Structure 1
């Protein structure tokens, strides 16, 4: 999908929700670990070279897309701060979880134990296959590397959860959808399953009313 069509479709979608596109901020994903704090000045724009957005501005909607990668939603009900992060395997290993939490704590004084975190649908250990050569990249998380029938799979949500806990997020504050995008063909796009010629993605969003 061409960028202008993607933008047009996004604007149409939010219009159906009664949301002014000038209040929507979108992460222009690079499968990395960069996180940006945004305010009303960024409303209506796409923030380049970032996979995470954080804000304390009311009425601003933070958005990101995914088609197998995970989206993480962060909310601190005490500080009234939100964040969204796109966590593919590359970003996960590069530190997107740690950087998003750091962005929330350093910019807004959020205490990690107060954060509520939701993990979106994404590709899970049942289908996330990697090459044997890439197995070394996950050596720190060997308990989440699964071998079946001569193939290697990785439980990405398991790694996500460990990283969240290590940064001080309470286990009772983590909500996991437990849905695999690859398994649920009727409900979700999956890049690995469909291998589409054009971009087909889910959109996720979070904001403060």
Structure 2
């Protein structure tokens, strides 16, 4: 039995399907789901297939994965079909946020410390998955994704639920001034540690969601630091360059 992390707010929406995968020491590569890190392709695809079998999904479900490049590029998925699931070649090119209103399409983000954010408009039935490392967060990718949902689908930010999934926390994310300088205008973002800074990327994305118009009560933070809970989630920093990635998925049922 594969274990998932789930958000309470998204789980309460019957039209939303979502899950965040966790490590499993009994599976190949501890259930890593990354095709781009050099592991045996057939075993990673088999891991992905196990995820499908464990999820409570619609009868026919398609999976969309992007080539993540730490950009603020957003792709709206308007055609049903699977992309980037069994091979890198057909992944959505250079995109760090995916949006769709197509039922039966699951959007997927791969991370190992960066912040995965799942969004769901419960009125318009629109789902989005966002990958926000420090560069994407600096570019306000989650705020831009909300604005794209408003622009394309007429979403009201007050109707959007957000789940900020496990990622590296302020307890473990030490950065230099060259990174910290981009977040000094957000009081909760930083704490100084000698000549270095501890950066709270989940808090910055939370701040940007509020700035985008989401209601505080509609934003759920996991509170899970991937570096602290490395037994359950891959952490690039804690594991000193690990190749494993876990997956955050969301779609419209």
Q: Normalising by the residue count of structure 2, what TM-score does the alignment of the two structures yield?
A: 0.75
Which blocks of at least 5 consecutive residues in structure 2 are unaligned? 1-36, 85-90
> How is 1:27-176 mapped onto 2 (pairs within 5 angstroms)?
27-45=66-84, 46-176=91-221
Identify which range, 92-101 or 41-50, moves more after superposition: 41-50
Q: Give a deviation string over 1:128-179, Cα, whole Å, max 9, x none.
A: 1101333322232254211135431111122111111111100000001001
Are positions 1:206 and 2:250 aligned together?
Answer: yes
More RCO (CA 8 Å, sep 6+): 2
45, 53, 60: which one pairs with 1:8?
45
186, 190, 201: which one pairs with 2:231?
186
Identify which range, 175-184 or 131-140, moves more after superposition: 131-140
For residues 127 and 38 of structure 2, the distance between their equivalents in structure 1, rounded to whole angstroms, comes to 29
For residues 115 and 15 of structure 1, the distance between their equivalents in structure 2, rounded to whole angstroms, comes to 26
> How many Å apart are 1:7 and its aligned residue?
6.0
Q: Relative to 1, partners in 2 of residues 1:64 and 1:32: Cα closer, same or farther, differing over 3 Å?
A: same
Aligned residues: 208
Q: Is the 8 A contact 1:34 1:99 kept in 2?
A: no
For residues 21 and 11 of structure 1, the distance between their equivalents in structure 2, rounded to whole angstroms, comes to 16
For residues 139 and 99 of structure 1, the distance between their equivalents in structure 2, rounded to whole angstroms, comes to 20
The structure carrying a bigger helix percent of its residues is: 1
Q: Normalising by the residue count of structure 1, what TM-score does the alignment of the two structures yield?
A: 0.90
Identify which range, 17-26 or 165-174, moves more after superposition: 17-26
